[in-house]
């Protein structure tokens, strides 16, 4: 699937129960965000709201398990957020820790990926999300070598700009762009900014580590990890 602007559009693929949409709730308005047949992950990127009484500010994520209902009541400036649905057939992971309902990115310890890339895991089996992992990844200026993952992933661009490389195409990506990466699809996410990190929101299933990337054989022999 190519790059799309996700505002109001659902990013999905036939045969997969992982889907993403970008939504806005205006000031003083409210919206039901749970789902009877899916787990739901939310990521707020502008504004603020109360999620059934709990504060949800920009840079925070929330988890609603299948069948849980919650009302998102927008604050004075409204709220813009990503909503991800995870169906019952999504691969499940054993729970590894107690369930959390809302996570603030400022309170999440960063992890290291390949090279100088880093990430913060917002939800996964460690805090109650057994159907997927949601993380924010940070890509420094430049690009990594060609690589692939074993999981099914949707990527939403929080702060661009950049380029998304596939074997037969290159597409520009900016704030609000979204694209799907299927298992074993060889790709590169490039940061085209000269001086700031590209920030992406990634959601993938089955749940696991965002650092689990596999290099093409011709790249693996020569790739050197940057010193920590």
Q: Which residue has the higher pLDDT, 189 or 167?
A: 189
3-class secondary-structure state, position 92: coil
Average pLDDT over residues 150-171: 95
- What is the spatial distance between Cα 61 and Cα 169, in angstroms, rounded to a whole number? 32
3-class secondary-structure state, position 218: helix
User: Do the Cβ atoms of 58 and 46 come closer than 8 Å?
Assistant: yes
3-class secondary-structure state, position 220: helix
How many beta carbons lie within 10 A of that of residue 31, not counting itself?
A: 17
Query: Which pTM value belongs to this model?
Result: 0.91
> Has residue 3 got a pLDDT over 90?
no
Q: Which residue has the higher pLDDT, 33 or 112?
A: 33
Overall CATH class of domain 102-209: mainly beta
φ and ψ at residue 219, rounded to 5 degrees: -85, -35
Tokens found for residue 196: 């700031």
Domains 4-87 and 102-209 share a fold: yes
> Has residue 208 got a pLDDT over 50?
yes
Flag the least confident range among 4-8, 179-183, 202-206, 215-219: 4-8
| Residues pairing with 7 in the sheet | 22
Average pLDDT over residues 187-200: 95
Q: Which residue has the higher pLDDT, 116 or 45?
A: 45
Sketch the domain layout of the chain as residue ranges. Answer: 4-87, 102-209
4-87: CATH superfamily: Jelly Rolls (2.60.120.10)
| Mean pLDDT value across the chain | 90
Nearest in space to 32 (alpha carbons), one of 67, 77, 75, 60: 67
């Amino acid at each position: 699937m190519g790059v799309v602007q996700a505002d109001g559009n659902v990013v999905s693929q036939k045969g997969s129960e992982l889907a993403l949409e970008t939504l806005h709730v205006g000031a003083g308005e409210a919206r039901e965000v749970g789902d009877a047949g899916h787990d739901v992950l939310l990521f707020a990127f502008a504004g603020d709201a109360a999620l059934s009484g709990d504060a949800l500010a920009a840079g925070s994520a929330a988890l609603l398990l299948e069948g849980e209902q919650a009302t998102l009541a927008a604050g004075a400036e409204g709220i813009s957020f990503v909503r991800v649905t995870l169906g019952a057939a999504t691969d499940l992971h054993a729970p590894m820790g107690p369930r959390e309902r809302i996570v603030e990115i400022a309170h999440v310890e960063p992890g290291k990926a390949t090279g100088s890339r880093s990430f913060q895991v917002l939800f996964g089996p460690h805090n109650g999300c057994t159907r997927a992992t949601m993380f924010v990844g940070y890509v420094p200026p430049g690009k990594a070598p060609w690589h692939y993952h074993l999981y099914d992933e949707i990527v939403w661009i929080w702060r661009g700009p950049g380029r998304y490389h596939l074997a037969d195409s290159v597409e520009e990506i900016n704030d609000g762009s979204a694209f799907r990466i299927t298992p074993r699809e060889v790709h590169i996410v490039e940061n085209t900014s000269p001086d700031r990190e590209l920030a992406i929101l990634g959601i993938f299933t089955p749940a696991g580590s965002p650092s689990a990337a596999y290099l093409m054989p011709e790249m693996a022999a020569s790739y050197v990890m940057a010193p920590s």
